[in-house]
Amino acid sequence: MPGLNDTVRYWDYLGAYTPRRAEYLAAVDRVFSSGRLVLGREVAEFEKGLAAYCGAAFAVGVNSGTDAILLALKALGIGAGDEVITVSNTAVPTVAAIRASGATPVFVDVEEDTYLMDVSRVEAAVTPRTRCLLPVHLCGQMADMAPLQEIARRRGGWVIEDCAQAMGAAYGGERAGSFGDVGAFSFYPTKILGAFGDAGAMTTSDPDLAARLRRLRFYGIAEGYHAEEEGFNSRLDEVQAAILNLKLPGIEAAASARRDIARIYDEGLAGVGDIARPAVRPGRRHQYYLYTVRTQHRDRLMEFLDKEGIETKINYPHPVHLMRGYSGLGNREGDLPVTERLARSILSLPIYPELPTRHAERVVETVRRFFRGGR
Ligand SMILES: *Cc1c(COP(=O)(O)O)cnc(C)c1O
């Protein structure tokens, strides 16, 4: 029997930090002792490593994933009066970045079993003002990129991938961040590649876009302290880049640890109660940033697991289009039936590379007990 105090944490980074503490501290010291604290060697090295990993020609580091989306929009010339097609079933920052650019988000509904943008609905949402398609690779699985790229090509729009939850995910063997005109990444601590603070980056294979993204993160300056255009201050911090450089080589091992846990859940929860497990489309590599199930008994299951010492989360309890802060966009309840239904039935189980196997097994056993009537 597991001890009562043996809480199954939803997420924890200390299991990854503690064994490598000396290396992390040495990396921080290397930056502090280098004589260059801003946009130095570590950022340059990380950008090279990230671009190579994603299969893009360039990467540009910024302060956060939100800024990565915002600067991508700005670099593509998208702003007030323009429409960006995206989803409401996402983290707020996707939409916050679109609004910060001045553009208007236009939401399409998602697929019930993958939680991803329902690309069959995109064409109908295109208007003469549409400038960009912004799919979100939610939970670690890529959206259906081929039809999206086809629509963008035919209707003359840009594509920005929100890769914040999907570093290393693939579609037809090609990785997230290599499909869109720009890929936007977050290295927020919980993400697949997590810094020890805020960090983000953009990938692109267009040299002119890469140069513009570089300017935009540095006050619009290319050289000589002369702003070529109105820019921002959004630099990837040198210390965070050093942390990311340490972690980047381990990303495949971490992903395979996540997949092992997902397999325990997939096998252990098959046919249990009314639990629906996350669907994975053929030809896609799921990174399991989140392992999100659906059940009509979500709230009671969540409470039961909590009492049994198992932390879970709802990603996300409120679709963005129904949030008070976005009521000005004029969306109403009922606009996105699948998205709204999912918000009432989804539950994310603990999944991270260092989650002990016995914890994942305990999650399975406890969910089974709930549905056997142990509640
Ligand atoms: C985390 C996240 C972001 C934003 O990243 P930050 O680094 O927190 O700004 C954007 N989109 C999605 C889907 C995310 O999960």
Residues 342-361 pLDDT 10s: 999 999 999 999 999 999 99
Ligand 1 center–CA 274 separation, angstroms: 30
Question: Which protein residue has the closest C-alpha to ligand 1 atom 5?
Answer: 65
Question: Which protein residue has the closest C-alpha to ligand 1 atom 6?
Answer: 65
Ligand 1 center–CA 165 separation, angstroms: 7
Minimum-distance ligand 1 atom for the alpha carbon of 69:
10
The rounded distance, in Å, linking the Cα atoms of 169 and 143 is: 10
Ligand 1 center–CA 137 separation, angstroms: 11
Is the pTM value of this prediction over 0.85?
yes
Minimum-distance ligand 1 atom for the alpha carbon of 188:
7
The rounded distance, in Å, linking the Cα atoms of 304 and 368 is: 11
Minimum-distance ligand 1 atom for the alpha carbon of 67:
9
**CATH, domain range 15-249:** 3.40.640.10
Give the model's pLDDT for residue 320.
98
Question: Which protein residue has the closest C-alpha to ligand 1 atom 14?
Answer: 164
Q: Of how many residues is the chain composed?
A: 375
Ligand 1 center–CA 55 separation, angstroms: 21
The 10s digit of each residue's pLDDT in 218-271 is 999 998 999 999 999 999 999 999 999 999 999 999 999 999 999 999 999 999
Domain formed by 250-374, architecture: Alpha-Beta Complex (3.90)
Within the chain, all domains assigned CATH 3.90.1150.10 are found at 250-374
Give the model's pLDDT for residue 374.
61
Ligand 1 center–CA 69 separation, angstroms: 9
Lining residues, ligand 1, CB within 6 Å:
64-66, 90-91, 93-94, 136, 162, 164-165, 186, 188, 198, 200
Ligand 1 center–CA 257 separation, angstroms: 22
What is the three-state SS of the chain?
Answer: CCCCCCCECCCCCHHHHHHHHHHHHHHHHHHHCCCCCCCCHHHHHHHHHHHHHHCCCEEEEECCHHHHHHHHHHHCCCCCCCEEEEECCCCHHHHHHHHHCCCEEEEECECCCCCCECHHHHHHHCCCCEEEECCECHHHCCCCHHHHHHHHHHHCCEEEEECCCCCCCEECCEECCCCCCEEEEECCCCCCCCCCCCCEEEEECCHHHHHHHHHHCECCECCCCCECCCCCECCCCHHHHHHHHHHHHHHHHHHHHHHHHHHHHHHHCCCCCCCECCCCCCCEECCCCCEEEECCCHHHHHHHHHHCCECCECCCCCCHHHCHHHHHHCCCCCCCHHHHHHHHHEEEECCCCCCCHHHHHHHHHHHHHHHHHHC
Q: Which of 139, 188, 244 to mutate to test the pocket of ligand 1 (most atoms within 8 A of CB)?
A: 188
Ligand 1 center–CA 164 separation, angstroms: 5
CB 186 within 8 A of CB 90: no
Question: Which protein residue has the closest C-alpha to ligand 1 atom 7?
Answer: 65
Ligand 1 center–CA 175 separation, angstroms: 18
Minimum-distance ligand 1 atom for the alpha carbon of 199:
7
CB 85 within 8 A of CB 132: yes
The rounded distance, in Å, linking the Cα atoms of 270 and 153 is: 40
Minimum-distance ligand 1 atom for the alpha carbon of 68:
9
Give the model's pLDDT for residue 375.
57
For the chain, which ranges sit under pLDDT 50? 1-2, 4
Give the model's pLDDT for residue 373.
86
Give the model's pLDDT for residue 361.
98
Give the model's pLDDT for residue 115.
98
Ligand 1 center–CA 185 separation, angstroms: 8
Q: In angstroms, what CA-CA distances link 184 with 101, 197, 243, 270, 280?
A: 15, 17, 19, 34, 22
Within the chain, all domains assigned CATH 3.40.640.10 are found at 15-249
**Cβ–Cβ contacts within 10 Å for residue 220, how many?**
16
Ligand 1 center–CA 85 separation, angstroms: 17
Q: Which of 136, 162, 185, 339 to mutate to test the pocket of ligand 1 (most atoms within 8 A of CB)?
A: 162
